[in-house]
Amino acid sequence: MFQSKLISKLAKLKLYCPVIRPVVTYACETWTLKETITNRLMLFERNVLRKISGPTNENGIWQIKTNQELDKIIKHKNIIIIIIGVVVVVIVIIIIINCNWVVTRWQWLFYMYTNMKKKKKKTTRKFKSGGLHEKHVVATWKLH
């Protein structure tokens, strides 16, 4: 599929990031990122990206893209950076849960409702309508 000429390179890249990458990184938060695993993941990603982008023709010589060119294609968000980001999010969630910082939605709504003191303040403003001055009462809410 990645070598097909019927699908554009942009469509292939858009297919790789949300479909292929999550399959490869499934349960990555439980992995121990050793150098061998990191190298294999980077090798896999570069191979897929090279199949997507294809060779380039420079001065009549066909060449594969360099690692730096592939890094520009994915905007410096390689698979290892994605995995590290997932692991950091999981660590933060664990810290929050262990520190009892988790507040359910209903607790938050109850807190917001009980701490908002609504005072009705009436102000009068004069508006001209048809040459006569009429007083209108405007109710405004003030939150403390």
In a domain, 2, yes or no: no
- Whether residue 118 sits in one domain with residue 47: no
Which residue bears the tokens 């420079």? 58
Question: Looking at the 3D structure of the chain, how many domains does it have?
Answer: 2
The contacts of residue 141 (CB under 8 Å, 6+ apart) are: 118, 119, 120, 121
Q: What is the mean pLDDT of the chain?
A: 77
Task: With a cut of 70, say whether residue 10 has pLDDT above it.
Answer: yes
- Whether residue 62 sits in one domain with residue 30: yes
| Amino acid 137: pLDDT | 47
Which residue bears the tokens 């698979």? 79
- Whether residue 111 sits in one domain with residue 97: no
Cβ density class 43-64: b for 16+ within 10 Å, e for less: eebbebbbebbeeeeeeeeeee
Q: What is the pTM of this model?
A: 0.61
Range of the domain at 78: 9-102
Task: With a cut of 80, say whether residue 25 has pLDDT above it.
Answer: yes
- Whether residue 66 sits in one domain with residue 43: yes
- Quote the CA–CA distance of 38 and 46 in Å, as a whole number: 12
| Amino acid 40: pLDDT | 95
Report pLDDT digits (tens) over 79-138. Answer: 999 999 888 888 887 777 766 555 565 566 666 666 655 555 555 555 555 544 444 444
- Whether residue 95 sits in one domain with residue 55: yes
CA atoms within 13 A on the CB side of 46: 15
In a domain, 1, yes or no: no
Residue 5 C-alpha from the chain's centroid: 30
Q: Write out the DSSP string of 107-136.
A: HHHHHHHHH--EEEEEEEEEEEETTEEEEE
- Whether residue 120 sits in one domain with residue 78: no
- Whether residue 60 sits in one domain with residue 130: no
- Quote the CA–CA distance of 89 and 93 in Å, as a whole number: 6
